[in-house]
Structure 1
Amino acid sequence: MSRWYEQHGYVIVARNWRCKRGELDVVALKDGELVVCEVKARASNAYGTPAEAVTLAKQLKVRRATADFRASMREANNPLAALVNIARIVRFDVACVLGTQLEMLEDIF
């Protein structure tokens, strides 16, 4: 998924970032916007679509983990930390992988 963002001009800040409150699959930056992408993959729709797996509870977990990520960046000593901290917009995307097909749902929650 990181590759998709890189191909669209984003800078990858983190992949599979973990904290006590959850995990962030991909965190990227572009034009002052911080993008957090939740990746959901399914072999088929037999048990629901990938997007359906991003429940309200999962969204809340991702939002909380994002707050922890931003807090950790305030303490980080790297050039991207400053860019993360000044990002005024935080966007949440979902990357839906069904078999070999990718559908990006931008600003979905």
Structure 2
Amino acid sequence: MNLKGSQAEQQAAEYLQQQGLTIITRNWACRAGEIDLIAKDGAQLVFVEVRMRRASRFGGAAASITAAKQAKLLATAQYYLQSIKSTPACRFDAICIDDQAITWLKNCISA
């Protein structure tokens, strides 16, 4: 991961913590892919994709979460759930950073 990516993930983690979430792990990886942040929001497990764009000429950060990326996130989350041997209530969120604006998209990917 490049420096900008790690800075975006740090910014996203801090933002989510300010909103009351607890960060469980960062950059959880398996053969299916990687999940940027895994957090707890009350009893709910939250898989978070962090996307950053400096300019929106290609649709901005949210537009960069393609169907293929969503499928990869779902597969990776399944591996994570198998690794913890639990199936808590889950959701998929995205933190989109466009220039300096943060947008939190809750439950933006359906399993």
Q: TM-score, normalised by structure 1?
A: 0.84
Give structure 2 stretches of 5+ with no counterpart: 1-11
Query: Residue by residue, what CA displacement relative to the aligned partner does 1:36-64 show, whole Å, maximum 9, x if unpaired?
Result: 11011001012221111111111110010
RMSD: 1.2
Structure number with bigger Rg? 1
Is the 2:38–2:47 Cα contact (8 Å) retained in structure 1?
Answer: yes
**Match 1:50 to one of 61, 65, 76:** 61
1:30 shift after superposition: 2.1
Query: Residue by residue, what CA displacement relative to the aligned partner does 1:10-30 show, whole Å, maximum 9, x if unpaired?
Result: 111111111111100010012
Counterpart residue type for residue 99 of structure 1 = D
**Match 1:6 to one of 9, 12, 17:** 17
Q: Which residue of 1 aligns with 2:100?
A: 100
Give structure 1 stretches of 5+ with no counterpart: 75-84
Structure 1 runs of 4+ with >4 Å offset: none
Paired residues in the alignment total 98
Structure 2 CA distance, aligned partners of 1:3 and 1:69? 22
Matched position secondary structure for 2:60: coil
Q: TM-score, normalised by structure 2?
A: 0.82
1:99 shift after superposition: 0.8
Identity %: 30
Counterpart residue type for residue 10 of structure 1 = L
